[in-house]
Amino acid sequence: MRNAICVCLVLLIGCATAGFRDSMPDARGFSYMEMENDHGKVETLTNPAAIDLTPQPKRTGSVLVGYKRITDRAAGTTRTYKTEVRRSGNDATLVVTDVASGETVLSSRFPEAAAHAERETFDTIAACINDFLCKNSSALQCEANKTCRDQFWSLICCLKNGSCVSVHGVIHPNTLRCQVIGQVTDFEAVIFSRD
């Protein structure tokens, strides 16, 4: 009996995961995550390139970061949001769209990317990002918690192999006072190769 219950639970979880993935055909291969509490459930599908720090090709104009489906039990609603980073020249903008209505619910331009550690090059993109976050994340997190608003950051990382990339990321508020589930898909960073 216990094995049958376990099999049923695995099948139910697998079906729920497959259901959300299947409803977003352009998110095949994306990483799935689910969080649930008494108030509701949040499911996300995140582009592996935004987790694994994979640079996008030079001419890429838009990157699908992922989807977030928020179920609010008290309101009896479920909404799905699409998160993209759109690039025009050297400018990058984070755009969140309500999938059902097509309405843009958030459009925030990332700060202009500036060289991080001008005289230093890094072995990897992750090493450059970690160095930037060690030096800047406290101030960004403080501002996010003070304002209860996402804080956007950008930088240019140059590697020892001679390549440079622009990196764009978000730091979310993390205090109890600011605990509102936002529509932005959680991700590490979106990286664009530079000319």
> Residue 113 class from Cβ within 10 Å (0-12 exposed, 13-18 middle, 19+ buried)?
buried
Question: Given this model, what pLDDT does residue 90 score?
Answer: 83
Quote the pLDDT of residue 119: 76
The alpha carbon torsion through 35, 82, 78, 27 (nearest 10 deg) reads: -70
| CA dihedral over 89, 154, 94, 68, signed as positive or negative | positive
Spatial CA neighbour of 191 closest among 82, 113, 95, 107: 113
Q: What is the pLDDT of residue 44?
A: 94
Cβ count within 10 A of residue 150: 17
8 A C-beta contact, residue 190 and residue 168: yes
Into how many domains does the chain fold? 1
Q: What is the pLDDT of residue 18?
A: 58
Q: 54: domain range?
A: 2-193
Residues of the chain with pLDDT under 70: 1-18, 195
Q: What is the pLDDT of residue 178?
A: 85
Query: Quick one: tokens of 106?
Result: 């958030």
- In the prediction, which pLDDT does 195 show? 59
For residue 9, the model assigns a pLDDT of 32
